[in-house]
Structure 1
Amino acid sequence: MTGRVASVNLGIVTEAKWAGDASGRSGIDKRPVDVPVLLRVDGVAGDFIGERAHHGGPDKAVYAYAEEDAAWWAAEVGRSVRRGAFGENLTTYAVEVTGAVIGERWMIGSAVLQVTMPRTPCTTFAGFWGMPDLIKRFTARGTPGAYLRVLVEGEVGAGDPVEVVDRPAHGVTIGEVFRATTLEPDLLPRLLAADDLPEPVREKARRRLAAHG
């Protein structure tokens, strides 16, 4: 089955006590749009990001989450989970997201994207969902979604095929990076093989390995 974009989602401005930035605003509430959207090197055109110290930028220009993983969460929490509810720009279908290899390239619409790193759950996410234990549960589940760089800017719309056009041989996946940096530190040495992993993540892995001798 060909992987596809189920929806492209843009953040709206949400003001709340749980919002992460100093002004109390967040862009985690993303809603599907019915027109193609330009993916740029610095982010998604028309998207709102509240806390730019932790979100956005070239290594986190686009965030993708799998519709299949969202369906698991809907069953887990006993309520519907709409597209964009994870703060994702791209909701995907039949795309291997947790198993995506760091550095692999996706061609979608007229854009080319590169898988960079997993999403780390934050208190804003837990506040948005109204679930104080969400960070713990999200970490235990281990399906964090993937951040992507934009290598070639272009427009992407719902229904566009997602084609993996290159996959590095090292095999280090989004899921492995997430587990290594959360619950399974024994995996940390693996991360150093992934050259396309953003340097802050590689440096964190090196520091943790050095600290444990």
Structure 2
Amino acid sequence: MSHVVSVNLAHPRPNPTKSGAGLTGIDKRPVDHPVAVRAPGPKYGGLGSGLVGDGVYDRQNHGGDDQAVYAYSRENLDMWARELGRELTNGSFGENLTTSDLDVEAALIGERWRVGATGPLLEVSVPRIPCATFAHWLDERRWVRRFTERALPGTYLRVIEPGEIRSGDHIEIVSRPDHDLTVGICFRALTIEAELLPRLIDVEELPGEARELARKRTAVTPPPFAPDDE
């Protein structure tokens, strides 16, 4: 049964990769109490995270309604732990929700999840794209490239209806759109498989900036994706 293994909130720490941001909230740790979830508003000028008590400090690139909640599966964390030869606790990838028995990358953009019997209604919005902050946090050689090539990005979620969320909550898929754009396909289109970009353009559930990026890149042949491995 698909469920939330843990709910994870930020412990702010200095961010050496973003001189303008000052802090980062990528260090997320499980909490043992219910957490209120609400729509945070726009990326610029909003509340940042969709979870009360969480923190988003680089508002230029993170947070806002389309990135209100980040989910990553425990199964994929376990796969990475085996490959890296190190423990990866819940929240290690900066995820708000560590999930189990749910194929996050197979979720459709616009798919809706009810978390808990009376908890929030969340909508799959866009995959996570790795950045220098993530690479610095993991401190693994060529991390951005390795993460990208594996194409197991997890997903951001919108908050359609607010509520409380806690570890152990059941996740029910309550609706799916009639297109076939999954989180995994969307990620590959935006990173290493530009030939998939046309599939993004008409998916209304995808954030406007992602659709516009797809339009621009299909109008001009994009250069190969070359992540910064520093």
| Alignment TM-score > 0.5, same fold | yes
Q: Deviation at 1:52?
A: 1.2
* Contact 1:59/1:149 (8 A) holds in 2: yes
CA separation in 2, counterparts of 1:132 and 1:207? 32
Name the residue aligned to 1:17: 16
Length, aligned pairs only: 211
Q: Indicate conservation of the 8 Å contact 1:21/1:51, yes or no.
A: no
Task: List alignment gaps of at least 5 residues for structure 2.
Answer: 41-49, 223-230
Structure 2 partner of 1:198: 207
- Matched-pair contact (CA < 8 Å) for 2:15–2:21: no
Partner letter of residue 23 of structure 2?
Answer: R
In the alignment, structure 1 residue 53 sits paired with structure 2 residue 60: yes
| Amino acid aligned to 2:60 | A
Residue 69 (structure 1) shift = 0.6
C-alpha separation in 2, matches of 1:126 and 1:77: 14
Structure 2 residue aligned with 1:174, among 180, 183, 191? 183
Q: Is the 8 A contact 1:180 1:186 kept in 2?
A: yes
Deviation at 1:50, TM superposition (A): 1.6
- Give the aligned partner of residue 64 of structure 1: 71
- In the TM superposition, what are the counterparts of 1:134-213 in structure 2 within 5 Å? 134-212=143-221
In the TM superposition, residue 129 of structure 1 has moved relative to its aligned partner by 1.0
Q: What code does the residue aligned with 2:61 have? A: H
Shift of 1:17: 2.1
Distance 1:80 1:17 in 2: 24
Q: CA deviation at 1:169?
A: 1.3
Question: Secondary structure in 1 aligned to 2:102?
Answer: coil
Report the Cα offset of residue 24 of structure 1: 2.7
Q: Post-superposition shift, 1:21? A: 5.3
**Contact 1:103–1:167 under 8 Å retained in 2:** yes
CA distance in 2, matches of 1:160, 1:23: 33
Partners in 2 of 1:147 and 1:122 — Cα distance? 15
The one-letter amino acid paired with 1:142 is: A
Give TM-score, length-normalised by structure 1: 0.96
Which of residues 91, 104, 109 is equivalent to 2:111? 104
Q: 2:36 aligns with which of 35, 38, 54?
A: 38
**Match of residue 76 from structure 1:** 83
Query: 1:16, 1:205 → 2: CA distance?
Result: 30
Give the TM-score taking structure 2 as reference length.
0.89
Provide the residue aligned with 2:142 in structure 1.
133
Letter of the aligned partner of 2:22 in structure 1? G
In the TM superposition, residue 46 of structure 1 has moved relative to its aligned partner by: 0.2
Cα–Cα, structure 1 residues 45 and 21, in superposed 2: closer, same or farther, change >3 Å?
farther
Q: Which amino acid aligns with 1:136?
A: R
Tell me, in whole angstroms, the C-alpha distance in 2 between the residues paired with 1:124 and 1:40: 25
C-alpha distance in 2, partners of 1:21/1:103? 34
Distance 1:38 1:189, change over 3 A: same
The percentage of aligned residue pairs carrying the same residue is 47
Deviations 1:112-152 (A, max 9, x none): 00000000000000101112411000000100000000000
CA contact under 8 A between 1:170 and 1:193: conserved in structure 2? Answer: no
CA distance, structure 2, for counterparts of residue 140 and residue 187 of structure 1: 15
| Corresponding residue number in structure 2 for 1:122 | 131
Write the distance in 2 (CA, Å) between the matches of 1:21 and 1:85: 23
